[in-house]
Amino acid sequence: MDETPVWKTILGIIVAISLFIRVLYTCSNQNSYNPSNAVVNQNFEQSQAAMKEVFEKHKAINTIMSTKMMYSDYKALDSLSPEQKQNYGIVKLEKDSLVYIAIDAQLKVPKNYFLQNNHDQFLRVAFKSPDNFNFFIHDFESKEDVEESFKKLKSDSNLQKYKVENTIDQVKAVSYKITRENKRYNGYALCFKNAGVNSFYEFESGELSKDKLKMRAVDYLSQNMKAIK
């Protein structure tokens, strides 16, 4: 992978361009007899708006790349430089950590797991275990049924063999297969709606069978979910 720190390069370019424009703007204002002051001011504002737009686009691209990185092999993530991990919003936990998944609930994420904290508009948290067991929590407001929302969420991953395994109250447990970065993954997810928000707890593995993944997901939640009293 490219060792160049992406965000440092982008920000360096933006700062340099911004400084150059500010110098021009200041010099223009110092000449009170220059009739082009208004034009320079307008150009400055347009340039600032354009740079902001470029920055937001790069930020969106980097967020997408951050999520894709979670489908990389654990050893590949571990080989990234500290700056690359920072760019992708990926942190290797040095100790067991608690992550809020609701106002009244936390989830323990064990030491040495990778945690992805460069969220997009739907992803709340993602982590990867040393044996390539992935967990994602997506939630967002929607008027759609949770099944339709889930299918749209996975629409860019060649969703196949989708099946509702069980329904308990408002929670639907579904199994599925997806393809990410040319690799097939088994998936097991809990889908539910609360106060107009669709939530999905997704467990995925390219190595575990469907049944073993289900057992791993249930065991993980039962052992690591903590209620806050």
Output the pLDDT for position 82. Answer: 92
Output the pLDDT for position 60. Answer: 46
- Distance between terminal CA atoms of the chain? 45
Confirm if 191 and 200 have CB atoms less than 8 A apart: yes
Number of domains in the chain: 2
Assess whether 99 and 155 both reside in one domain.
yes
Output the pLDDT for position 86. Answer: 86
Assess whether 112 and 156 both reside in one domain.
yes
Domain assignment present for 81:
no
What tokens does 6 get?
């992406």
Assess whether 15 and 116 both reside in one domain.
no
Output the pLDDT for position 77. Answer: 93
Output the pLDDT for position 105. Answer: 86
DSSP string, the chain: ---S-HHHHHHHHHHHHHHHHHHHHHHHHH-TT-TTHHHHHHHHHHHHHHHHHHHHHHHHHHHHHHHHHTTS-HHHHHTS-HHHHHHTTEEE-SS-EEEEEETTEEEEE-TT-EEE----SSEEEEEE-TT-EEEEEEEEE-SS-HHHHHHHHTGGGT-EEEEEEEEETTEEEEEEEEEETTEEEEEEEEEEEETTEEEEEEEEESSS-HHHHHHHHHHHHHHHEEE--
Domain assignment present for 115:
yes
- CATH no. for residue 178? 3.40.1000.10
Assess whether 107 and 204 both reside in one domain.
yes
112-166: pLDDT as tens digits: 999 987 666 788 889 999 999 999 999 989 989 999 999 999 998 999 999 999 9
Assess whether 57 and 108 both reside in one domain.
no
Assess whether 49 and 152 both reside in one domain.
no
Domain that holds residue 206: 90-227
Low-confidence spans in the chain with pLDDT less than 50: 3-4, 7, 54-64
What tokens does 4 get?
């160049």
Domain assignment present for 77:
no
Domain assignment present for 83:
no
Assess whether 108 and 208 both reside in one domain.
yes
Output the pLDDT for position 28. Answer: 53
Domain assignment present for 95:
yes
**pTM of the predicted model over 0.75:** no
Residue with tokens 């160049």: 4
Domain assignment present for 204:
yes
